[in-house]
Amino acid sequence: MKSQDFIIKVKKLSKIYKTDLLETTALDNVSFKIKKGEFVAIMGPSGSGKSTLMHILGALDKPTSGEYILDGEKVEKLTDDELSDIRNRKIGFVFQAFNLLPRTTTLKNVMIPMIYGGIPKEIRLKIAEKYLKMVGLGDRMQHTSNQISGGQQQRVAIARSLVMNPTLILADEPTGNIASHQAEEIMEIFQKLNDEGRTIVMITHEVDIAKHAKRIINIKDGKIFKDSPNHARKII
């Protein structure tokens, strides 16, 4: 297999948090690779280091040591502004708390990454409308983010994550703040996106959610202790 086929290459990644009194190792020599088109769930209890891993994968934080190559770019070497650019072009974020701008229409929320990506306004509008329709919110475009339900907010966030056509969709506990019946809808969208060939990495601690993925990486105490395909995959 050619190395270009791997979207994510993580080699001996460590992250150590230092305070005056103690050093905490959040990630300890983690190595793995993710191919284009995979749907990976990273699982682990709280404090396992999965959030730290998510921040590094999302180019939101830099590792203490090790190497992280995202779509051919060495992320750990980049400056703050270059990281912003990488996040903008290559990563679509879906957060647990949705993180939409309050009192702002869903349409505007979805357009934000494209503003920073330097996409002209007319094109922005078309793309935003397209993805909002795709997540089933074509009739909610002028609603502000606090006028819609949690599940709908997360769907807006998914639409927002897609507008820059990213290499990787990174979801951090995407169903953590949503009622369970709506959670299924969210997972359905992720599955559909994966079927279309998009690479998805999802951090979760819920088994029910992780079982939608094709591959599950289990983390404990900053180390990978299990990395295996999910044969019992639940398909909606």
Enumerate binding residues for another protein (CB under 8 A).
55, 58, 60-61, 80-81, 84-85, 87-89, 93, 95, 99, 101, 103, 112-113, 115-118, 120-121, 160, 164
Can you tell me the distance from the alpha carbon of 215 to that of 43, in angstroms, rounded to the nearest whole number? 10
- Nearer residue to another protein within complex by CB, 123 or 236: 123
Q: Which is nearer to another protein, 98 or 190 (CB)?
A: 98
**What is the closest distance, in whole angstroms, from the C-beta atom of residue 49 to another protein in the complex?**
14
Q: How far is the CB of 118 from another protein (least distance, A)?
A: 6
DSSP 67: E
Which is nearest to 182 in space by CA: 88, 98, 113?
98
Percent helix, strand and coil across the chain, each to the nearest 5: 35, 30, 35
The nearest distance, CB 60 to another protein, in angstroms, is 5
Smaller CB distance to another protein: residue 60 or 69? 60
State the minimum distance, in angstroms, from the CB of residue 102 to another protein.
Answer: 8
Distance of CA 19 to the CA centre of its chain: 28
In the complex, the smallest distance separating the C-beta of residue 141 from another protein, rounded to whole angstroms, is: 17
2/103 with CB nearer another protein: 103
> Bridge partners of 22?
none
Residue 14, strand partner residues:
65
Cα 193 from Cα 172, distance rounded (Å): 16
CB atoms within 10 A of CB 81: 8
Decide whether 105 or 191 has the Cβ nearer to another protein: 105
